[in-house]
Amino acid sequence: MANVRLEDVSKAFKSAVAVDNLTLTIDEGEFFSLLGPSGCGKTTTLRMIGGFEEPSSGRIWLGDEDVSGLPAHKRDVNTVFQSYALFPHLSVAENVAYGLKRQGVAKDEIGPRVEAMLELVDLEGYGQRRTTQLSGGQQQRVALARALVNRPQVLLLDEPLGALDLKLRKQMQLELKRIQSEVGITFIYVTHDQEEAMTMSDRIAVMSAGRLEQVGAPQDVYELPATSFVASFLGASNLLEGEIEGTSGEVTKVRLGVGGTVTLPAGRLTDSEGPVAVGVRPEKLHIQTTNSSEVDRGDNAIEATVVNSTYTGVSTSYECATSDGTRLVVYVQNLERSASPPGAGAKVRLTWDPDHTFAVSKARPEKT
Amino acid sequence: MALGTQDRSAPAPPEPPPDRAGGGRKGSKSRKGLAPYLLTLPGVAWLVAFFAAPLGFMFLFTFYDGTIDIGYSFTSDWPQTYFEAFTTYDTQIIRSVIYALIVTVATLLISFPMMYWIAMKGGRRKNLFVLLMLLPFFTPFLIRTLAWQLVLSDQGIFLGTLKDIGLLSADFKLLASPLAVISGMTYNFLPFMALPLYVALEKLDSSLLDAAADLYSSKREAFLKVTLPLTLPGVFAGSLLTFIPSVGDFIDAEILGNPNTTMIGSIIRRQLLVNQDYPTGAALSFLLIAGILVAVFLYARALGTEELTG
Ligand SMILES: Nc1ncnc2c1ncn2[C@@H]1O[C@H](COP(=O)(O)OP(=O)(O)OP(=O)(O)O)[C@@H](O)[C@H]1O
Ligand SMILES: [Mg+2]
């Protein structure tokens, strides 16, 4: 059953269109992330689902109910705000109990539920503290408890870990995942950190400039980005321009602008002819010195020159350039001690499995 | 009792920065501890010279008897001075307190919505709106009150017009009534309430109101459970700043009132400056101070949050 559905939702502010024709379906119990750069409309989308902002057009469904016109306090949705927004005049326990009291939950039920929730977020015994006396991570957990205690259908989280340092962030990521699987509530999670989105989410929606670029499981979005924006936002994109040459059976051939052809599984292209850009992730590329062994039969290959190489211990990253100047990044794991890694200026051949080739529609219509 | 109730955790006097390594001067250690107190010296000296000392002299006067002509002498019967002062002027004292209470409530009711609107909806023009509100108060108290007298006068622009178009009968009077005095005071003391309220409302984080709505509070509940408790320090500060000077105010009563609206401030002024009955004037002053202290204490207890009393 679809839990949250956005249908052609747009939001225009005086100065700008923050969300542009967004259609999304989020399933029950899913950990769903909205990922995108700053200002792409993630918070605005979340605020519309929460009821703090009214869509300029489009509808929002919560389960079977159209909630488009419903004010925030009548929606069965709770939010963990980026700034936590804890009530400074109330204790930790009073903060957590706030929603239950407003809903008219019986008094003798509130205490135990608050206690249980504080335990879930590892804050037992903190009930009487003032929220201003807590560390950032603890405040974050109070905010989480305050929202979850109401057992909403959907929990909205707006960059909840944004204010925490890296170590605490990693720890809270795991903890959030644990809590989500324990309570089984749908989480809609906003972040601009692609790594965070990938580690935590069941599915990711990548947004750019108010528009939806791609929705899919982390592997799909990373391995097979559908647009050049997604390709470059989730790591080095390694895109090569070309022209579709034709499809025979399971494989499509693309003639590259720099010369040579590459192949990829037929299903990855939406068009059957015309310009296209193909790409491959840096860790999928193999680097060979040109005079060495032959290319495996069926592998894609392209000639390039090393521009520079960076040794990082676990791996070495090479920046290479093709003859037309297109930059390609290659990550090579340092499995063996290489006596003579190719240095700057070395002519190399880059090869990869055709199955790792992705294609993005070349000309994404510009936003008007 | 701090009026600036905003700074709940008023920091201890700041330590001067530690001496640079190697440059340690002799005696710098003891100076380090003293410096913050030395900084308060001018202020303390000022208060002692111009506040505490006169107050002390005034207090001494309440133990004396006599007039300026026959001279003053100490009297063991000083409680009688207080007793007489109170029984003679109890009407004016009670009237002053009642007027001041009404004025405090009225300024609160008028300025809260106004300041709420400016703080929440004022956007980039907030400061302009506050300035506009304060603009009339750039004129002196006395001038303002005299202008108010013109406004309220029987044939003035306000009543005169209403009478001309027949909305009021020709013998309707506003001036020289309790209503006129209270209106004038409400007007004159408005900024004392409005500014602390504005400060409290302005620093209210709007995401807290989002959070309240998120947690099932209607607009009204969010106001009662979040906005109001968080702006209470402003209400408290504003009430004190309004109530205390209004109890002792006499200009409004003298310009806009009649003999039956005389406030205790007028009496004290007359005793001290006209009749030169210093003991009675001083005793009245201290009765007033004591009354205000008790009232403020009770008020702080009633509001009952630790920020206010602590
Ligand atoms: N209340 C508002 N009034 C006018 N413009 C707004 C308002 N809120 C957001 N915007 C604009 O809408 C766009 C999207 O903003 P939004 O806050 O949704 O971005 P975001 O993806 O959450 O970014 P970030 O990662 O920086 O939080 C921005 O260009 C922003 O300037
Ligand atoms: Mg945001």
Put simply, whether B8 touches A (Cβ < 8 Å) is no
Angle between helices B178-202 and B78-121 (to 10 degrees): 50
Question: Which of A46, A52, A89 should we substitute to test contact with B (largest number of B Cβ atoms within 10 Å)?
Answer: A89
Neighbouring C-alpha atoms within 13 Å toward the C-beta of A279:
29
Contact A29, A185 (CB under 8 A): yes
**Cα A158 to middle of ligand 2, angstroms:** 7
Q: Is A342 in the pocket of ligand 1 (CB under 6 A)?
A: no
Please say if the pLDDT value at position A95 is more than 90: yes
Q: What is the pLDDT of residue A292?
A: 60
Q: Is A208 in the pocket of ligand 1 (CB under 6 A)?
A: no
CB contact under 8 A, A146 and B216: no
Q: Is A40 in the pocket of ligand 1 (CB under 6 A)?
A: yes
CB contact under 8 A, B215 and A85: no
Min Cα separation A236/chain B (Å): 37
Put simply, whether B48 touches A (Cβ < 8 Å) is no
Q: What is the pLDDT of residue A108?
A: 94
pLDDT digits over A204-215, tens only? 999 999 999 999
Measured CA to CA, the distance from residue A315 to residue B300 in angstroms comes to 67
Pocket residue to mutate for ligand 1, from A13, A17, A82, most atoms within 8 A of Cβ: A13
Per-residue pLDDT of chain B (310 residues; tens, 9 = 90+): 344 444 444 444 444 444 444 444 444 555 567 888 889 999 999 999 999 999 998 898 888 887 777 778 888 888 888 999 999 999 999 999 999 999 999 999 999 999 999 999 988 999 999 999 999 899 999 999 999 888 888 888 888 888 888 888 888 888 888 999 999 999 999 999 999 999 999 999 999 999 999 999 999 999 999 999 999 999 999 999 999 999 999 999 999 999 899 999 999 999 988 988 888 999 999 999 998 999 888 888 887 655 444 3
Where would I find the H helices in chain A? 42-50, 92-102, 107-120, 136-148, 166-183, 194-200, 218-223, 228-233
Cα dihedral A311, A312, A315, A321 sign: negative
Question: Which of B214, B219, B227 should we substitute to test contact with A (largest number of A Cβ atoms within 10 Å)?
Answer: B214
Beta strand A300-311 pairing with A286-289: unpaired
Put simply, whether B225 touches A (Cβ < 8 Å) is yes
Query: Quick count: other Cβ atoms within 10 Å of Cβ B39?
Result: 12
Contact A357, A302 (CB under 8 A): no
Question: Chain B 289-308, CB below 8 Å of chain A: which residues?
Answer: 305
For B208, the closest of A78, A79, A85 (CB atoms) is: A85
Question: Which of B215, B224, B303 should we substitute to test contact with A (largest number of A Cβ atoms within 10 Å)?
Answer: B215
The top-level CATH class assigned to B89-309 is mainly alpha
Residues 6+ apart with CB under 8 A from A260: A301, A302, A303
Put simply, whether B224 touches A (Cβ < 8 Å) is no
Q: What is the mean pLDDT of residues A10-28?
A: 93
**CB-CB neighbors (< 8 A) of B212 in chain A:** 73, 87, 98
User: Which SS3 state, helix, strand or coil, does residue B59 take?
Assistant: helix
The CA distances from residue A239 to A161, A259, A357, in Å, are 32, 14, 10
Q: Is A333 in the pocket of ligand 1 (CB under 6 A)?
A: no
pTM for this entry: 0.80
Task: Provide the residue ranges of all domains of chain B, joining segments of one domain with +.
Answer: 89-309
Measured CA to CA, the distance from residue A49 to residue A43 in angstroms comes to 10
Confidence of residue A365 (pLDDT cuts 50, 70, 90): very low
Measured CA to CA, the distance from residue A200 to residue A189 in angstroms comes to 9
Ramachandran category for residue B44: left, alpha or beta (phi over 0 → left; psi -120 to 50 → alpha): alpha
Percent of chain A with pLDDT over 90: 58
Measured CA to CA, the distance from residue A119 to residue A364 in angstroms comes to 49
**CB-CB neighbors (< 8 A) of A67 in chain B:** none
pLDDT digits over A282-310, tens only? 999 988 876 666 666 778 889 899 999 89
On average, the pLDDT of chain A sits at 89
Q: What is the pLDDT of residue B277?
A: 87
Tokens at A71, concatenated: 């004010």
Vertex A195 angle, CA A192 and A196, to 5°: 70
Q: What is the mean pLDDT of residues A2-15?
A: 91
Q: What is the mean pLDDT of residues A60-74?
A: 91
For A98, the closest of B205, B215, B230 (CB atoms) is: B215
Q: What is the mean pLDDT of residues A129-139?
A: 91
Output A268-272 pairs: Cβ under 8 A, ≥24 positions apart.
A268/A224, A268/A357, A268/A358, A268/A359, A269/A244, A269/A359, A270/A361, A271/A244, A271/A361, A272/A244, A272/A247
Domains of chain A: 2-226 (3.40.50.300), 236-360 (2.40.50.100)
Chains A, B: CB contacts within 8 A come to 60
pLDDT digits over B177-193, tens only? 899 999 999 999 999 99
Q: What is the mean pLDDT of residues A321-336?
A: 89
Contact A277, A301 (CB under 8 A): no
Pocket residue to mutate for ligand 1, from A40, A82, A161, most atoms within 8 A of Cβ: A40
User: Which SS3 state, helix, strand or coil, does residue A53 take?
Assistant: coil
Q: What is the mean pLDDT of residues A40-53?
A: 94
